Each structure stands twice: as C-alpha cells, then as structure tokens.
Amino acid sequence: MNPSFEILKNKLGELADIKGAIALMMWDQEVMMPKGSIHLRARQLGTLSGMQHEKFVKETGEILSILNDQQADLNAHEQQDLAEVQREYTRMTRVPTQLIIDLQKGAAEAQHAWELSRKANDFSVFAPALSNLVALRLQEAQCLGHSGNPYDAMLDCYERDASAASLEKLFVPMRQQLTGLIHAIQAAPQVDDSFLYQPISPQAQLAFSEKVLEKMGYDFTTGRQDISTHPFTIGMGSQDIRITTRVKENDIIEMLYSSIHEGGHALYEQGISMENYGLPSGEYCSIGIHESQSRIWENNVGRSLAFWEHWFPTFRELFPDKLAGKGPEDVFKAVNKVSPSFIRTSADELTYHFHIMLRFEIENLLINGSIKVNDLPSVWNELLKNYLGIGPPDLLNGVLQDVHWSHGSFGYFPTYSLGSFYAAQFMAKAGETLPDLQKSIEKGEFSAFRNWLKINVHQKGRSGNPENLCKSVCGEGLNVEFFIDYAKEKFEAVYGIRI
Amino acid sequence: MNPSFEILKNKLGELADIKGAIALMMWDQEVMMPKGSIHLRARQLGTLSGMQHEKFVKETGEILSILNDQQADLNAHEQQDLAEVQREYTRMTRVPTQLIIDLQKGAAEAQHAWELSRKANDFSVFAPALSNLVALRLQEAQCLGHSGNPYDAMLDCYERDASAASLEKLFVPMRQQLTGLIHAIQAAPQVDDSFLYQPISPQAQLAFSEKVLEKMGYDFTTGRQDISTHPFTIGMGSQDIRITTRVKENDIIEMLYSSIHEGGHALYEQGISMENYGLPSGEYCSIGIHESQSRIWENNVGRSLAFWEHWFPTFRELFPDKLAGKGPEDVFKAVNKVSPSFIRTSADELTYHFHIMLRFEIENLLINGSIKVNDLPSVWNELLKNYLGIGPPDLLNGVLQDVHWSHGSFGYFPTYSLGSFYAAQFMAKAGETLPDLQKSIEKGEFSAFRNWLKINVHQKGRSGNPENLCKSVCGEGLNVEFFIDYAKEKFEAVYGIRI
C-alpha cells in the first residue's frame, strides 16, 4: 500500500472509531439509557461529534493534498477512495465545527421534546426544539451550498445528487400509477387479515423473528436485537451491527416485518469487509441503497408467497388457534392487504409512498420558508386528506409519529421510496442471475440470494453516487418501471385482478 | 468565575465527555456487547483513550500556565482544583499517548483471554496477554517515576501517596489481630447459614435488591442495574451512574450484597454535583475512599442487626419456607459467618483481608520481577495455604477469579482493605454526629445517613489525597483501630464470645 494512503487509512480508522462511539451512545440512548441522563448524553454526543468533525477537517487536509499529487501511484480502488474522501473533506470544511456540535445537541434535546410532546399530544411542546433544528440545518445548507433550493443540500446528505426537482420527476408519474392501482384494488373483494391479530407472547414473537433473522444470515455473534419505540439499525463498524424491533402482543406482523427490515439493513453492514474499515469503500453507498437492502428482504422476499410457503408451518404454531383452516396463501394475502392508514411504518407497500410524498412535500415547503413549524399539524392533515382521504385522530397518528424530524433529518424520507424502487430493480436482476431464486425462498434457503447481494451491493461500499452503483449492478440507472411491474404482478395475485 | 478558569473548566468538561463515552463502551462490553465485537471494541477504546490523553496533554498546558500566574485571582476552591489539575497534568505529560493506547488495547484483549482461560481452566491461555500488560504498566511506572519500587507508582494511581512500605505497615499488625480474632471464632460454636441458600427466582431476587437500593437513595432515573459476570459500578458523569450485580438461584445473599455494595459506590458518584463536572472537585477522591462508600453500606449498614430488624419481614416472604422459626438475628449471624474460602468477593469480612494481603504480596513480587507471570498459579496456591490453610480446586477458584489483572490494574486490590478501614472510621464518626443512626437503620430510614455521607464525603470531590479527606471528615488520618474495634464488637455479638 502507498505509505501516504496508509496514513490516510489509519486517520480515517480513528475517525471511524469516534463514529463507533457516537453510534453506541445513540443506541444506548434509545434502548438502555436511564431517562434522567438525557442532558448529560446530549452534551457528550455534542462533544464527540464536534471532535470527529474537527479531527477530520484538521488532520486529513495535508495528507489529502499529498495524495492528490501521488494519484499515479495509487491503484484504481485507492483512487476511488481518495476521490470520495476528498469530496467529503471539501463538504466538511465548509461546515464550522461549532455548527456540528449545535446540531448534535439540538437533535438530542429535540428528541426528548418529541417524546414529551407525544405523551402530552401537544405539538407546541416539540415546536421550539424543532424550529431550532430547522434553523441549524438551514445554516448547514448555506455552508454546503446549493443552486437555489436549500432542501437540495439536505437531500444530498442522504442520497447524493438527489434534488427536489429530480424526486418530483419520479413521484408525479408514480402518484398517478399508484392511484390507478389502488382504485382497482378498492373495487375488488377485500382481503381478510383479521386472523393475524391474535395474542402471542412477546417472547414467542421475538424467538420467531430470531429464527428468521438467523436464516437470513444475520450474525448474532456480532449483533443483537433489542426493543425500542422506533425500530432501527445502528453500526459501530461491521463487527458490531445492532437492530431493534417493537413488540405488541396482538401484532406479530409489525414485529416480524420490523425485524426483517432491520435485518436487511444489518446484512448490508455486516457484509462490508473490516479490511476497508474507515474508508469510503468500507461504508454504505447511500441511505437509499441502504433502504433497498431492508426493503428487498422485508417486501420482495418477506411478503412473497414463496416466503410463506416455507415459514407458515412454524408461524402457525405460535397462534392460539394454530390458524386452523388457513394456509400460506392466506398469510401472503393478509400481509399484503392494501388499506389507507395513518402510520407510515405500518402502511402497505402501495399507500406507503403517499406517506413519503406527503413528507417530501411538507419538508420542501418548510425548508423553503413557505410554511412555518407551527403550521405542520394542519398542513399534514390537509395533505393526508388529499392523498389518502383520511384524517388522523390525534398527533401520534399524525405529525408526531416519526422520530426523523426530532433528529433534524429533513431530506431523509424520500430515501425510503427510493429504497423500494431500487429493491424492485435489484430483485429483478437477482432473479435473472439466480434462476432458482424463488424455489430457494420456498425452501427457506437464503444463502445464494444473500451472497448475491453481498457481492453485488454490500462489498462495493461507497464508490460514487447511488446511480453509479445501480448501473454497476443492473447495467442501467434507477428505473421505476421495475417497481411498477413488481407491484402490478404482486397485487394482481393478492386481489385476483387484472390491471 | 475567572475567565481563564472558565476556559480550563470547559476544556476539562470536554475531556469528561470523552471519558463518559469510554465508560459507556466499557459498560456495554461487560453487559450488552455481542462477543464477536471484542476486537473492534478494543481498537475503539484504544483510540478514544489515546485521544483523551492527547487532548489533555496538548490542550490544557497553556491555560494551566496562565492560571498559575493568576492564582491570586482565584478563590480557594478554584485554587484547589487548579493544583489538582496541575498535578495530573505533570503526571500525564510523562506518559506517551501511544502507551495509553497500548494499555487500553492490551487490557481489552487480556480480558478476552482471561475469559477464554477461565473457560479452559488453563492459565497459559491468559499468560501472554497478562505478560504484555505487566510490561506496559512497568513502562508506565518508569514514566511516572518512583523511588525504587515500580509497584509504588502503580499503587499511587489508585490511592494517592500509598506505597508498598506504608501498606505493609498497616497489614502486618492487622494480620496478627485478625488471626487472633479468627482463632477465637473457630474455637466458638459455629453459625448456621444453610437456611439462606434456597431457590428464589432471579426476578424476585432483583426486585428485592431494587427495593433496598431505592431506600438507600440510589436514583434509578439516572441509573440502572444489570447483570454481569463481575459486579461493578460505572459512571458517565453523575447523571448516569450504572451498577451491575450477579444472580444465582440458590444464593440471594451474594446478589443482595453485590447490589448494596455497588449501590454504595453509585451513591458516591450520584452525590457529586454536576456543577463541578470535569473538575477534580467533581470527581471521587480515591479508589480507597470510593471503596469505603460501598463497604460502609454493604458491611457496616447492610450486615448489621439493625438492618435486618427492618428488612427481615420482606426478605422472609421470598423464601419457599418463609424462613419459619428464624428471625432477624439469625440472618444477621448467618450473613456474618466467618469461614476461610476461595473466592475473594464472597469472603467474610475478616478472612477477606487475607485475600487482599495475598494479592498485594503477589503483585509486589511480580512487578519487582521476583516472580514471573507463569509462577502466579503456584505462588497463589502457596500463599493461600499459608494464610487460610486451604488450596483451591481449580483456577476459577484461584488465580483466575478476579477480573482486575486482565485490566492491568496492578495496585488496585489494597484499596479494598483501605475501604473497609476508612468505612469503619467514617461509621464511627457518623454515629457520633447522628445519635439516632442505629435507630433509623432499624426503621429502614437511610436518608440522614446518606446525607451525612453526601455532605462529608461525596460533595468534597477530590481536593487532596485520601488522608486529607479523612482528616477533614474525622479530625485525624486513617486509623485502623476503628476497624479492629468494629470487627471485635460485631463478631463478639455474632459468635457470643469475649475477646
């Protein structure tokens, strides 16, 4: 290895160590931390985030400029890593360390306010902390630079080169297609899913999810599953990737698909080699690609008939009535029931994207100053009415349902839809390459599929924008037709219709 | 506040934030971390420890020299803090950052080796990692400086101004006194404690310990109790102080006194004001004083007849036979049964100190090069035979029982005995000041006692060596006569003898 590149790699490894500590503090805050420790944790997170930023900006500039002069001595992988680090360096030097600290502290405080606000069903408890975060992220967008729309600078933080305009181009025709599909479904005989909502002990639910996770290949020797309000995956480096789920006695389905979803995220990070620890090639590509890995397992695999062909016999044993008279196809249909609802995370695969479009639209308005934080509850309700024809009974079922804004993560939501679109495209490609894919899923055998993802997606790390990764996997950039085709085929089967 | 002092305080606050992150990583490693993450965690701990050291050495020197010129502008508290930070700075600048990183990494790896070694009952699995730690700590002792005995430099890390010679002065007469007491006890009719060892569910045991901890005043809103192999207390700052205990179905006593012991440690740290966060006045005085706070609760309070007068009725309910025919005095006697045994942490209050003297003697020999790491098992067994007349059946009951050496904490063990000696002296003083102390313990009321400790010990933080703190609390330095008197009085009552 080029000695200067080795210096850079070691420095980035130290930065990854700090990131790992921050990730652990965040995991602990959600899963383990005593509630009264929140202010202390906020200041500690602020300090570490500031340090990580300061160290990156102060300590990599010199070696980067040396390496830029030595590019000819680097191999193609090293050149790619160098270009990625240089890009990040240029971005980060534009943001003052104090702003990073303020954002981290502001987010910790806002999350606390969000929780109190949910308890009180009172948006005004959350509003001041949220306004503070909007102001801070606007400052950050100003530092990062954008061509007119500060929201673009935020989108780019999660999905490189995404913009409000490019997303609208995807969402506008998608809205039309989905509306057509949903209307056809609403005209068909409805699916019964009531038999799934029976009391099952949390222990038995979790044990089932662990069986599925193990079969997926989630490595429990370098991971663990816990309970949290909002399921998430967090990584301290590929040798410590943790997931959470949530458990309600009468809803094993929510628990199961949360586990599979987070398990998919975790497989992505466990699939990245420790050899590239700290380097861009040892990191995930983008949030949208990350989301494709959770959704491909949750929806394309986990909500398929093939999946239930294998898992139904074990699943049935959990139920008080052993699901008498039901078969794999009944569960397949039930877990794909389409019905407008209030909560994004439990929405079906079609109406889900309206939840995202709503948030995308609101964020764009908020960041551009067209609406204020205090307008959020009413704008939310109005848009939900327009899109899905329903109005939430309270704030928990409405504007206060997601944790993201309390983290200041404006621009994050669209990556969920992108994830679904990428997942459909990757799944189609995997099906081409692995002709026995559906048969192996029917047998509960996931290893060929997991390896395909590992080689084609996970181990590529970050070496360019998600569009480039998609091209290297599929031979073309993002093409939402794959999602439309997938959705039509699946929901025609679920509802017995032809569209 | 003097503006330069404020700069120093902010800098030390940031260092405390890093220490908090390190503490969380260590807590997580013992309680939550997947086993396969150990190497990643070791490197992350190494990086953060190195950063903390480097930051302290690089970033406080200038402000310290400014403040040393402005001493006249500082109040007495600030002057005291300044002197303490200056002392630490002088010590730390002598140790290279790389050595700190190596020590932290070496300790994480050694702990893993220790665990494997315990599983295999094979000392050779642990020996190489332990030898590495000995070499590293000898290097550190060389950097810190000492007047001939490198072990003194290690003792001073935990108990300022302690030395092998000063400890021998305490231990030699103590050994004689204790031997006399133990002989008198062995000649008396023996205590029955067999009725305590009955199956009680872990949940019920933990619930009982939580009741006791709450009454002690341990604040669960800024703390939590978990299970670990070796009970410990860890603080991320006084607003996040966590304890662990261990639970065996047939041994509620070990669980209970582990909880009370760690609860005492935790009360010390919870009793320190967040106002002094990062400053020496916001930190504990020494490990020996820390240990006095755990032992005063565990032994002087928790193993008293007065304690059981209150808790017996609740305690009895946990037992399958409801302890029929037994009363508070039977439990008081049973939990004070004196009997030579293999495991330090479950030893009685008298033979306990032989376990410490043994470790003290072995460490002194090892660090001075009189024996080698590979000699440890045989030297251990030989000394145990001399002191207590028994020989351990295996390594888990012998040289591999304690986690301390796997942390490289040579010089730590003597602080346990010092803790007992300080505890007896503090308890005597508390009894003078609070004439109703015993009566309040009989009623299960601990608040006056806890407040006395808070005001006299906890809130004083670190402002000099432990000897000075002892003088400020008791009007004289450490006086082991208090422990001898306490032990005589207690064990005369337990065994119905006169010595």
In chain B, residues with a C-beta closer than 8 Å to the C-beta of A37 are: 222, 236, 239-240
For the stretch B363-379, pLDDT in tens is 999 999 999 999 999 99
Q: What is the pLDDT of residue A81?
A: 97
Nearest chain B residue to A44, by CA: B17
Contact B44 A219 (CB under 8 A): no
Contact A21 B34 (CB under 8 A): no
Q: What is the pLDDT of residue B1?
A: 86
Alpha-carbon dihedral sign for residues A310, A314, A319, A324: positive
Is residue B236 less than 8 Å (CB to CB) from chain A? Answer: yes
When CB atoms are compared, the residue of B17, B40, B41 closest to A44 is B17
Is residue B221 less than 8 Å (CB to CB) from chain A? Answer: yes
Mutation to test the A interface, candidates B37, B38, B220, B243, most A Cβ within 10 Å: B37
Is residue B438 less than 8 Å (CB to CB) from chain A? Answer: no
Is residue A32 less than 8 Å (CB to CB) from chain B? Answer: yes
Question: What share of chain A has pLDDT > 70, as a percent?
Answer: 100
Is residue B194 less than 8 Å (CB to CB) from chain A? Answer: no
Cβ atoms within 10 Å, residue B425: 25
Looking at CA atoms only, how far is residue B22 from chain A in angstroms? 8
Question: What share of chain B has pLDDT > 70, as a percent?
Answer: 100
Contact A21 B20 (CB under 8 A): no
In chain B, residues with a C-beta closer than 8 Å to the C-beta of A24 are: 21, 24-25, 28
Give me the interface pTM, i.e. the ipTM: 0.91
Q: Which of B387, B44, B69 is nearest to A14 (CA)?
A: B44
Catalogue the active-site residues of B. 262
In chain B, residues with a C-beta closer than 8 Å to the C-beta of A220 are: 34
Q: How confident is the model at residue A52 (pLDDT cuts 50, 70, 90)?
A: very high
Task: Check residue A103 and give left, alpha or beta (phi > 0: left; psi -120 to 50: alpha).
Answer: alpha
Checking if the pLDDT of B345 tops 90, the result is: no
Looking at CA atoms only, how far is residue A269 from chain B in angstroms? 14
User: CA angle A103-A104-A106, nearest 5°?
Assistant: 60
Strand (E) or helix (H) holding B242: strand B241-245
Catalogue the active-site residues of A. 262
Distance of CA A400 to the CA centre of its chain: 18
Q: What is the pLDDT of residue A280?
A: 97
Q: How far apart are the C-alpha atoms of A247 and A225, rounded to whole Å? A: 12
| Mean pLDDT of all residues in A263-279 | 97
Contact A240 B41 (CB under 8 A): yes
When CB atoms are compared, the residue of A17, A24, A242 closest to B43 is A17
For the stretch B250-304, pLDDT in tens is 999 999 999 999 999 999 999 999 999 999 999 999 999 999 999 999 999 999 9
Give the range among A208-217, A372-381, B106-115, B282-291 with minimum mean pLDDT: B106-115
Q: What's at B8, amino acid-wise?
A: L
For the stretch A275-298, pLDDT in tens is 999 999 999 999 999 999 999 999
Task: Check residue A145 and give left, alpha or beta (phi > 0: left; psi -120 to 50: alpha).
Answer: left
Q: What is the pLDDT of residue B23?
A: 98
β-bridge pairing B241-245 and A225-227:
unpaired
In chain A, residues with a C-beta closer than 8 Å to the C-beta of B54 are: none
Quote the pTM value: 0.92
Checking if the pLDDT of B171 tops 90, the result is: yes
In chain A, residues with a C-beta closer than 8 Å to the C-beta of B44 are: 17, 20-21, 236-237
Q: What is the pLDDT of residue A243?
A: 98
Looking at CA atoms only, how far is residue A379 from chain B in angstroms? 37
> How far apart, in Å, are the Cα atoms of A93 and each of A60, A96, B242?
11, 7, 38
In chain A, residues with a C-beta closer than 8 Å to the C-beta of B224 are: 32, 34
Checking if the pLDDT of B229 tops 90, the result is: no
Burial class of residue B3 (count of CB atoms within 10 Å of its CB; 0-12, 13-18, 19+) = exposed
Q: How far apart are the C-alpha atoms of A420 and A287, rounded to whole Å? A: 12
Reported in sequence order, the residue ranges of A236-337 that DSSP labels E, i.e. its strands, are 241-245
Task: Check residue B190 and give left, alpha or beta (phi > 0: left; psi -120 to 50: alpha).
Answer: beta
- Whether residue A410 contacts residue A363, with contact meaning beta carbons closer than 8 Å, is answered with yes
Question: Which tokens belong to A51?
Answer: 């340090």
Checking if the pLDDT of B131 tops 90, the result is: yes
Strand (E) or helix (H) holding B235: strand B233-235
β-bridge pairing B225-227 and B233-235:
unpaired
- DSSP string for A391-455: --SSSTTTTTS-SGGGGT-TT-THHHHHHHHHHHHHHHHHHHH-TTHHHHHHTT--HHHHHHHHH
Q: What is the pLDDT of residue B104?
A: 84
When CB atoms are compared, the residue of A21, A36, A224 closest to B21 is A21
- Whether residue A4 contacts residue A66, with contact meaning beta carbons closer than 8 Å, is answered with yes
Q: How confident is the model at residue A120 (pLDDT cuts 50, 70, 90)?
A: very high
Strand (E) or helix (H) holding A25: helix A3-31
Nearest chain A residue to B46, by CA: A17
When CB atoms are compared, the residue of B35, B51, B274 closest to A221 is B35
Q: How confident is the model at residue B103 (pLDDT cuts 50, 70, 90)?
A: very high
Contact A47 B14 (CB under 8 A): yes
Task: Check residue A313 and give left, alpha or beta (phi > 0: left; psi -120 to 50: alpha).
Answer: alpha
Checking if the pLDDT of A229 tops 90, the result is: no
Checking if the pLDDT of A230 tops 90, the result is: no
For the stretch A458-476, pLDDT in tens is 999 999 999 999 999 999 9
In chain A, residues with a C-beta closer than 8 Å to the C-beta of B274 are: 40
In chain A, residues with a C-beta closer than 8 Å to the C-beta of B46 are: 17
Segment 35-74 of chain B within 8 Å of chain A by CB = 35-37, 39-41, 43-44, 46-48, 51
When CB atoms are compared, the residue of A14, A21, A35 closest to B221 is A35
